[in-house]
Amino acid sequence: MERLSARLLSWASLIDEKTLAQAHTTARMPFIHPHLALMPDAHLGKGATVGSVIPTLGAIIPAAVGVDIGCGMIAVRTQFAKSDLEGRDLAELREQIERAIPLSAGRYNRKVVATAESRIAELEELAEKNGFDPATCAGNWRLQLGTLGSGNHFIEVSVDELDRVWLFLHSGSRGVGNKIAGHHIAVAQKLAKRWWIDLPDPDLAYLVEGTEEFTRYIRELRWAQHFALLNREEMMDRVVRQVSEFLGTGVDEQERINCHHNFTESEKHYGKQVWVSRKGAIQADAGRPGLIPGSMGTASYVVEGLGDPQSLNSSPHGAGREYSRSAARRTFTHEQLREAMTGIEFRDTDAFIDEIPQAYKPIDRVMADAASLVSIRHTLRQLVNVKGD
Protein backbone atom coordinates (compact mmCIF):
# COMPACT_ATOMS: atom_id res chain seq x y z
CA MET A 1 0.00 0.00 0.00
CA GLU A 2 1.20 3.51 -0.83
CA ARG A 3 -0.07 6.75 0.71
CA LEU A 4 -0.33 9.17 -2.20
CA SER A 5 -1.78 12.01 -0.13
CA ALA A 6 -3.53 12.57 3.19
CA ARG A 7 -6.79 11.47 1.54
CA LEU A 8 -5.63 8.91 -1.02
CA LEU A 9 -4.21 5.43 -0.40
CA SER A 10 -3.35 3.08 -3.26
CA TRP A 11 -2.85 -0.69 -3.55
CA ALA A 12 -2.29 -0.47 -7.32
CA SER A 13 1.19 -1.24 -8.64
CA LEU A 14 -0.04 -0.86 -12.25
CA ILE A 15 -1.80 2.45 -12.81
CA ASP A 16 -1.68 5.22 -15.42
CA GLU A 17 -1.39 8.95 -14.84
CA LYS A 18 -4.94 9.80 -15.97
CA THR A 19 -6.40 7.32 -13.47
CA LEU A 20 -4.22 8.72 -10.69
CA ALA A 21 -5.27 12.27 -11.54
CA GLN A 22 -8.94 11.27 -11.45
CA ALA A 23 -8.51 9.58 -8.06
CA HIS A 24 -6.73 12.63 -6.62
CA THR A 25 -9.58 14.85 -7.84
CA THR A 26 -12.23 12.70 -6.16
CA ALA A 27 -10.19 12.40 -2.95
CA ARG A 28 -10.17 16.21 -2.63
CA MET A 29 -13.97 16.43 -2.36
CA PRO A 30 -14.62 18.04 1.05
CA PHE A 31 -16.79 15.25 2.49
CA ILE A 32 -14.35 12.35 1.92
CA HIS A 33 -13.62 10.65 5.30
CA PRO A 34 -11.06 9.47 6.12
CA HIS A 35 -9.56 8.75 2.69
CA LEU A 36 -10.24 7.21 -0.71
CA ALA A 37 -8.83 3.68 -1.14
CA LEU A 38 -7.62 2.86 -4.64
CA MET A 39 -7.77 -0.87 -5.41
CA PRO A 40 -5.18 -2.84 -7.46
CA ASP A 41 -7.50 -3.00 -10.49
CA ALA A 42 -8.13 0.77 -10.63
CA HIS A 43 -8.74 2.37 -14.02
CA LEU A 44 -10.41 5.46 -15.47
CA GLY A 45 -14.18 5.68 -14.96
CA LYS A 46 -17.13 8.05 -15.24
CA GLY A 47 -16.53 10.80 -12.68
CA ALA A 48 -14.82 8.52 -10.18
CA THR A 49 -12.26 5.79 -10.74
CA VAL A 50 -13.40 2.21 -11.27
CA GLY A 51 -11.69 0.20 -8.55
CA SER A 52 -12.06 2.76 -5.78
CA VAL A 53 -13.63 2.82 -2.33
CA ILE A 54 -15.12 6.22 -1.57
CA PRO A 55 -16.31 6.95 2.01
CA THR A 56 -18.39 10.12 2.32
CA LEU A 57 -19.86 12.06 5.24
CA GLY A 58 -23.40 13.37 4.72
CA ALA A 59 -23.38 13.05 0.93
CA ILE A 60 -23.19 10.53 -1.93
CA ILE A 61 -21.85 10.99 -5.45
CA PRO A 62 -24.21 8.90 -7.66
CA ALA A 63 -21.58 8.47 -10.40
CA ALA A 64 -19.16 7.12 -7.77
CA VAL A 65 -21.47 4.15 -7.25
CA GLY A 66 -21.39 3.31 -10.95
CA VAL A 67 -24.08 3.29 -13.63
CA ASP A 68 -24.59 -0.48 -13.34
CA ILE A 69 -25.93 -0.35 -9.78
CA GLY A 70 -25.39 -3.57 -7.85
CA CYS A 71 -23.23 -5.21 -10.51
CA GLY A 72 -21.42 -8.18 -9.07
CA MET A 73 -20.65 -11.90 -9.07
CA ILE A 74 -22.30 -15.16 -8.10
CA ALA A 75 -20.68 -18.59 -7.94
CA VAL A 76 -21.88 -22.11 -7.11
CA ARG A 77 -19.63 -25.05 -6.28
CA THR A 78 -21.18 -28.28 -7.50
CA GLN A 79 -20.57 -31.92 -6.60
CA PHE A 80 -19.21 -32.58 -10.09
CA ALA A 81 -15.57 -33.09 -11.03
CA LYS A 82 -13.78 -32.19 -14.24
CA SER A 83 -13.86 -35.87 -15.19
CA ASP A 84 -17.67 -35.67 -15.36
CA LEU A 85 -17.32 -33.23 -18.28
CA GLU A 86 -14.51 -34.98 -20.13
CA GLY A 87 -15.47 -36.53 -23.44
CA ARG A 88 -18.65 -34.46 -23.63
CA ASP A 89 -19.48 -31.78 -26.20
CA LEU A 90 -19.02 -28.56 -24.21
CA ALA A 91 -20.24 -26.54 -27.18
CA GLU A 92 -23.65 -28.15 -26.59
CA LEU A 93 -23.59 -27.02 -22.94
CA ARG A 94 -22.61 -23.48 -23.97
CA GLU A 95 -25.46 -23.36 -26.49
CA GLN A 96 -27.96 -24.66 -23.91
CA ILE A 97 -26.94 -21.86 -21.52
CA GLU A 98 -27.18 -19.30 -24.33
CA ARG A 99 -30.74 -20.45 -25.11
CA ALA A 100 -31.78 -20.30 -21.44
CA ILE A 101 -30.45 -16.81 -20.70
CA PRO A 102 -30.90 -13.78 -23.00
CA LEU A 103 -27.50 -12.28 -23.84
CA SER A 104 -26.30 -8.86 -25.05
CA ALA A 105 -27.51 -5.30 -24.53
CA GLY A 106 -31.19 -4.72 -25.24
CA ARG A 107 -32.14 -8.41 -25.22
CA TYR A 108 -34.65 -9.57 -22.64
CA ASN A 109 -36.97 -12.47 -21.78
CA ARG A 110 -40.03 -12.82 -24.01
CA LYS A 111 -42.15 -13.66 -20.97
CA VAL A 112 -41.85 -13.92 -17.19
CA VAL A 113 -40.81 -17.51 -16.51
CA ALA A 114 -41.97 -19.47 -13.47
CA THR A 115 -38.66 -19.25 -11.59
CA ALA A 116 -38.72 -15.45 -11.86
CA GLU A 117 -42.27 -14.91 -10.60
CA SER A 118 -41.50 -14.92 -6.87
CA ARG A 119 -38.46 -12.70 -7.36
CA ILE A 120 -40.46 -10.17 -9.37
CA ALA A 121 -43.17 -10.20 -6.68
CA GLU A 122 -40.47 -9.50 -4.09
CA LEU A 123 -39.19 -6.55 -6.14
CA GLU A 124 -42.73 -5.23 -6.68
CA GLU A 125 -43.33 -5.32 -2.92
CA LEU A 126 -40.03 -3.55 -2.21
CA ALA A 127 -40.80 -0.87 -4.80
CA GLU A 128 -44.27 -0.27 -3.39
CA LYS A 129 -42.85 -0.04 0.14
CA ASN A 130 -40.39 2.60 -1.08
CA GLY A 131 -43.01 4.54 -3.03
CA PHE A 132 -41.18 3.89 -6.29
CA ASP A 133 -42.46 2.65 -9.65
CA PRO A 134 -39.56 1.05 -11.61
CA ALA A 135 -41.69 1.26 -14.77
CA THR A 136 -41.05 5.01 -14.84
CA CYS A 137 -37.41 4.09 -15.56
CA ALA A 138 -37.91 0.95 -17.66
CA GLY A 139 -41.37 -0.30 -18.57
CA ASN A 140 -40.08 -3.79 -19.31
CA TRP A 141 -38.01 -4.22 -16.12
CA ARG A 142 -39.76 -7.49 -15.27
CA LEU A 143 -38.52 -9.02 -18.53
CA GLN A 144 -34.97 -7.87 -17.71
CA LEU A 145 -34.72 -10.14 -14.66
CA GLY A 146 -32.67 -13.18 -15.64
CA THR A 147 -30.71 -11.53 -18.47
CA LEU A 148 -26.95 -11.10 -18.76
CA GLY A 149 -26.15 -8.00 -20.80
CA SER A 150 -22.87 -7.48 -22.64
CA GLY A 151 -19.40 -5.98 -22.13
CA ASN A 152 -17.47 -7.78 -19.41
CA HIS A 153 -20.51 -9.69 -18.14
CA PHE A 154 -20.15 -13.45 -18.52
CA ILE A 155 -21.22 -16.93 -17.50
CA GLU A 156 -18.53 -19.58 -16.96
CA VAL A 157 -18.18 -23.24 -16.12
CA SER A 158 -14.84 -23.61 -14.33
CA VAL A 159 -12.83 -26.02 -12.22
CA ASP A 160 -10.81 -25.29 -9.10
CA GLU A 161 -7.42 -26.59 -7.93
CA LEU A 162 -9.08 -29.86 -6.91
CA ASP A 163 -10.84 -30.18 -10.30
CA ARG A 164 -14.25 -29.47 -8.72
CA VAL A 165 -16.74 -27.86 -11.09
CA TRP A 166 -17.91 -24.31 -10.33
CA LEU A 167 -20.58 -22.23 -12.07
CA PHE A 168 -19.67 -18.55 -12.16
CA LEU A 169 -21.35 -15.43 -13.56
CA HIS A 170 -21.06 -11.64 -13.59
CA SER A 171 -23.92 -9.19 -14.15
CA GLY A 172 -25.86 -6.32 -12.57
CA SER A 173 -29.12 -4.36 -12.65
CA ARG A 174 -29.37 -4.20 -16.45
CA GLY A 175 -31.21 -1.36 -18.20
CA VAL A 176 -33.44 -0.46 -15.28
CA GLY A 177 -30.44 0.07 -12.97
CA ASN A 178 -28.68 2.13 -15.61
CA LYS A 179 -31.74 4.37 -16.02
CA ILE A 180 -32.01 4.86 -12.25
CA ALA A 181 -28.33 5.79 -12.02
CA GLY A 182 -28.51 8.16 -14.99
CA HIS A 183 -31.55 9.93 -13.56
CA HIS A 184 -29.93 10.62 -10.19
CA ILE A 185 -26.61 11.69 -11.70
CA ALA A 186 -28.60 14.26 -13.70
CA VAL A 187 -30.52 15.38 -10.59
CA ALA A 188 -27.25 15.91 -8.70
CA GLN A 189 -25.82 17.93 -11.59
CA LYS A 190 -28.93 20.15 -11.76
CA LEU A 191 -28.71 20.81 -8.03
CA ALA A 192 -25.03 21.76 -8.35
CA LYS A 193 -25.92 24.32 -11.04
CA ARG A 194 -28.86 25.66 -9.02
CA TRP A 195 -26.67 26.24 -5.97
CA TRP A 196 -23.63 27.49 -7.92
CA ILE A 197 -21.45 24.62 -6.69
CA ASP A 198 -18.14 24.64 -8.52
CA LEU A 199 -17.20 21.04 -9.26
CA PRO A 200 -13.87 19.80 -10.71
CA ASP A 201 -15.91 17.35 -12.83
CA PRO A 202 -19.70 17.49 -13.45
CA ASP A 203 -19.87 13.75 -12.74
CA LEU A 204 -18.74 14.42 -9.17
CA ALA A 205 -22.08 16.11 -8.47
CA TYR A 206 -23.48 14.89 -5.16
CA LEU A 207 -26.68 14.58 -3.16
CA VAL A 208 -26.80 15.84 0.43
CA GLU A 209 -28.08 13.59 3.19
CA GLY A 210 -31.37 14.77 4.69
CA THR A 211 -32.73 16.17 1.43
CA GLU A 212 -35.65 14.72 -0.51
CA GLU A 213 -33.36 14.00 -3.47
CA PHE A 214 -30.93 12.03 -1.32
CA THR A 215 -33.69 9.98 0.33
CA ARG A 216 -35.23 9.11 -3.03
CA TYR A 217 -31.86 8.09 -4.43
CA ILE A 218 -31.13 5.75 -1.51
CA ARG A 219 -34.53 4.07 -1.86
CA GLU A 220 -34.15 3.53 -5.59
CA LEU A 221 -30.48 2.58 -5.26
CA ARG A 222 -31.33 -0.15 -2.75
CA TRP A 223 -34.08 -1.42 -5.01
CA ALA A 224 -31.64 -1.61 -7.94
CA GLN A 225 -29.04 -3.33 -5.78
CA HIS A 226 -31.60 -5.95 -4.82
CA PHE A 227 -32.70 -6.33 -8.44
CA ALA A 228 -29.07 -7.01 -9.40
CA LEU A 229 -28.68 -9.63 -6.66
CA LEU A 230 -31.91 -11.40 -7.67
CA ASN A 231 -30.98 -11.12 -11.35
CA ARG A 232 -27.82 -13.13 -10.63
CA GLU A 233 -29.78 -15.65 -8.56
CA GLU A 234 -32.29 -16.13 -11.38
CA MET A 235 -29.59 -16.63 -14.00
CA MET A 236 -27.64 -18.99 -11.78
CA ASP A 237 -30.74 -21.11 -11.24
CA ARG A 238 -31.09 -21.39 -15.02
CA VAL A 239 -27.40 -22.32 -15.42
CA VAL A 240 -27.81 -24.97 -12.72
CA ARG A 241 -30.82 -26.36 -14.58
CA GLN A 242 -28.94 -26.52 -17.88
CA VAL A 243 -25.95 -28.25 -16.29
CA SER A 244 -28.32 -30.74 -14.65
CA GLU A 245 -29.94 -31.52 -18.00
CA PHE A 246 -26.58 -31.73 -19.76
CA LEU A 247 -25.14 -34.21 -17.23
CA GLY A 248 -28.39 -36.07 -16.65
CA THR A 249 -28.42 -35.61 -12.87
CA GLY A 250 -29.33 -32.86 -10.42
CA VAL A 251 -26.79 -30.31 -9.18
CA ASP A 252 -25.99 -30.59 -5.48
CA GLU A 253 -24.93 -27.08 -4.49
CA GLN A 254 -22.00 -27.33 -2.08
CA GLU A 255 -21.66 -23.54 -1.75
CA ARG A 256 -23.23 -20.37 -3.20
CA ILE A 257 -21.67 -16.90 -2.97
CA ASN A 258 -23.33 -13.71 -4.28
CA CYS A 259 -21.64 -10.30 -3.88
CA HIS A 260 -21.96 -6.77 -5.26
CA HIS A 261 -19.07 -4.67 -6.52
CA ASN A 262 -20.94 -1.46 -7.52
CA PHE A 263 -22.89 -0.36 -4.46
CA THR A 264 -23.25 1.92 -1.45
CA GLU A 265 -23.77 1.01 2.21
CA SER A 266 -23.79 2.94 5.46
CA GLU A 267 -20.85 1.69 7.55
CA LYS A 268 -18.76 2.83 10.51
CA HIS A 269 -15.09 3.53 9.78
CA TYR A 270 -12.52 5.51 11.76
CA GLY A 271 -15.12 6.41 14.38
CA LYS A 272 -17.73 7.87 12.02
CA GLN A 273 -20.81 6.58 10.19
CA VAL A 274 -20.10 7.10 6.49
CA TRP A 275 -21.58 6.11 3.15
CA VAL A 276 -19.10 3.75 1.51
CA SER A 277 -19.41 3.66 -2.27
CA ARG A 278 -17.50 0.73 -3.74
CA LYS A 279 -17.19 1.38 -7.45
CA GLY A 280 -15.54 -1.76 -8.77
CA ALA A 281 -14.65 -3.15 -5.33
CA ILE A 282 -16.07 -5.84 -3.07
CA GLN A 283 -16.68 -5.83 0.66
CA ALA A 284 -13.88 -7.76 2.37
CA ASP A 285 -14.67 -7.85 6.09
CA ALA A 286 -12.65 -10.47 7.97
CA GLY A 287 -13.97 -13.89 7.01
CA ARG A 288 -16.45 -12.65 4.38
CA PRO A 289 -16.43 -14.79 1.21
CA GLY A 290 -15.96 -12.96 -2.07
CA LEU A 291 -15.41 -13.42 -5.80
CA ILE A 292 -12.74 -11.79 -7.97
CA PRO A 293 -12.92 -12.70 -11.66
CA GLY A 294 -10.04 -12.43 -14.06
CA SER A 295 -10.54 -11.44 -17.67
CA MET A 296 -11.88 -13.68 -20.43
CA GLY A 297 -9.61 -16.74 -20.63
CA THR A 298 -7.76 -16.21 -17.33
CA ALA A 299 -8.12 -17.39 -13.75
CA SER A 300 -10.79 -16.24 -11.31
CA TYR A 301 -10.68 -16.43 -7.53
CA VAL A 302 -12.88 -17.37 -4.62
CA VAL A 303 -11.52 -15.32 -1.71
CA GLU A 304 -12.01 -14.54 1.95
CA GLY A 305 -11.78 -11.00 3.32
CA LEU A 306 -9.01 -10.05 5.73
CA GLY A 307 -10.73 -6.91 7.07
CA ASP A 308 -7.96 -4.42 6.30
CA PRO A 309 -9.15 -1.18 7.98
CA GLN A 310 -7.16 1.12 5.70
CA SER A 311 -8.98 -0.30 2.67
CA LEU A 312 -12.27 0.19 4.56
CA ASN A 313 -12.63 -3.61 4.49
CA SER A 314 -12.51 -3.80 0.70
CA SER A 315 -10.72 -5.55 -2.14
CA PRO A 316 -10.53 -5.41 -5.96
CA HIS A 317 -13.39 -6.73 -8.08
CA GLY A 318 -11.44 -8.06 -11.06
CA ALA A 319 -8.53 -7.48 -13.38
CA GLY A 320 -9.24 -3.85 -14.38
CA ARG A 321 -8.82 -2.53 -17.90
CA GLU A 322 -5.47 -1.37 -19.32
CA TYR A 323 -6.88 -0.63 -22.79
CA SER A 324 -10.17 1.10 -23.53
CA ARG A 325 -12.54 -0.90 -25.72
CA SER A 326 -11.73 1.16 -28.81
CA ALA A 327 -7.97 0.94 -28.13
CA ALA A 328 -8.21 -2.83 -27.66
CA ARG A 329 -9.95 -3.18 -31.02
CA ARG A 330 -7.20 -1.16 -32.68
CA THR A 331 -4.44 -3.13 -30.95
CA PHE A 332 -5.47 -6.79 -30.90
CA THR A 333 -6.72 -9.28 -33.48
CA HIS A 334 -9.23 -12.11 -33.68
CA GLU A 335 -6.36 -14.58 -34.00
CA GLN A 336 -4.84 -13.31 -30.74
CA LEU A 337 -8.22 -13.78 -29.05
CA ARG A 338 -8.42 -17.36 -30.32
CA GLU A 339 -4.92 -18.05 -29.03
CA ALA A 340 -5.78 -16.62 -25.60
CA MET A 341 -8.88 -18.84 -25.44
CA THR A 342 -7.10 -22.07 -26.38
CA GLY A 343 -8.70 -25.02 -24.57
CA ILE A 344 -11.80 -23.01 -23.54
CA GLU A 345 -15.18 -23.46 -25.21
CA PHE A 346 -16.46 -20.03 -26.28
CA ARG A 347 -18.45 -18.35 -29.04
CA ASP A 348 -15.68 -17.61 -31.51
CA THR A 349 -16.43 -14.14 -32.86
CA ASP A 350 -14.48 -10.93 -33.33
CA ALA A 351 -17.17 -9.18 -31.24
CA PHE A 352 -15.13 -10.11 -28.18
CA ILE A 353 -11.76 -8.65 -29.26
CA ASP A 354 -12.20 -5.78 -26.76
CA GLU A 355 -12.54 -8.43 -24.00
CA ILE A 356 -9.23 -10.15 -24.84
CA PRO A 357 -7.16 -10.83 -21.70
CA GLN A 358 -4.36 -8.53 -22.91
CA ALA A 359 -6.78 -5.58 -22.66
CA TYR A 360 -6.82 -6.08 -18.88
CA LYS A 361 -4.25 -5.96 -16.11
CA PRO A 362 -2.67 -9.36 -15.35
CA ILE A 363 -4.95 -10.89 -12.73
CA ASP A 364 -2.01 -12.53 -10.91
CA ARG A 365 -0.46 -9.06 -10.43
CA VAL A 366 -3.77 -7.70 -9.13
CA MET A 367 -4.07 -10.57 -6.66
CA ALA A 368 -0.47 -10.08 -5.49
CA ASP A 369 -1.27 -6.40 -4.82
CA ALA A 370 -4.37 -7.50 -2.88
CA ALA A 371 -2.49 -9.91 -0.57
CA SER A 372 -3.21 -7.76 2.50
CA LEU A 373 -6.90 -7.45 1.59
CA VAL A 374 -8.02 -11.03 0.88
CA SER A 375 -6.77 -14.59 1.10
CA ILE A 376 -7.32 -16.94 -1.84
CA ARG A 377 -9.53 -19.95 -1.11
CA HIS A 378 -9.83 -21.31 -4.64
CA THR A 379 -8.36 -20.58 -8.06
CA LEU A 380 -10.75 -21.28 -10.94
CA ARG A 381 -9.83 -22.23 -14.52
CA GLN A 382 -12.41 -21.75 -17.28
CA LEU A 383 -13.77 -24.63 -19.33
CA VAL A 384 -16.79 -22.85 -20.89
CA ASN A 385 -17.26 -19.12 -21.45
CA VAL A 386 -20.58 -17.46 -22.38
CA LYS A 387 -20.79 -13.75 -23.26
CA GLY A 388 -23.14 -11.32 -24.96
CA ASP A 389 -21.84 -9.23 -27.85
Cα separation, 115 vs 241, in Å, equals 11
Mean pLDDT of 144-154: 94
Whether the Cβ atoms of residue 232 and residue 82 lie closer than 8 Å to each other:
no
pLDDT over 90 (residue 157): yes
pLDDT, residue 105, reads: 86
Give 353-369 pLDDT, tens digit per residue: 999 999 999 999 999 99
Point out the catalytic residue in the list 35, 184, 260, 317: 317
pLDDT, residue 389, reads: 86
Cα separation, 56 vs 53, in Å, equals 10
Give 266-301 pLDDT, tens digit per residue: 999 999 999 999 999 999 999 999 999 999 999 999
Cα separation, 219 vs 224, in Å, equals 9
Give 13-62 pLDDT, tens digit per residue: 999 999 999 999 999 999 999 999 999 999 999 989 999 999 999 999 99
The model's confidence at residue 168, banded by pLDDT at 50, 70 and 90, is very high
How wide is the angle at C-alpha 164 spanned by C-alphas 160 and 168, nearest 5°? Answer: 65
269 is catalytic: no
Stated as kind and residue range, the H or E segment containing 72 is: strand 72-81
How wide is the angle at C-alpha 19 spanned by C-alphas 14 and 24, nearest 5°? Answer: 115
263 forms beta bridges with 278
Give 89-123 pLDDT, tens digit per residue: 999 999 999 999 999 888 999 999 888 999 999 99
Give me the chain's average pLDDT, please. 96
Whether the Cβ atoms of residue 348 and residue 338 lie closer than 8 Å to each other:
yes
Cα separation, 235 vs 239, in Å, equals 6
pLDDT over 90 (residue 2): yes
CA-based max dimension of the chain:
66
Domains of the chain: 2-387 (3.90.1860.10)
Whether the Cβ atoms of residue 159 and residue 167 lie closer than 8 Å to each other:
no
Give 71-86 pLDDT, tens digit per residue: 999 999 999 999 999 9
Give 313-343 pLDDT, tens digit per residue: 999 999 999 999 999 999 999 999 999 999 9
Sign of the dihedral defined by the CA atoms of residues 183, 120, 79, 154, in that order:
negative
Enter the pTM of the model.
0.96
pLDDT, residue 106, reads: 86
Cα separation, 7 vs 38, in Å, equals 11
pLDDT, residue 176, reads: 97
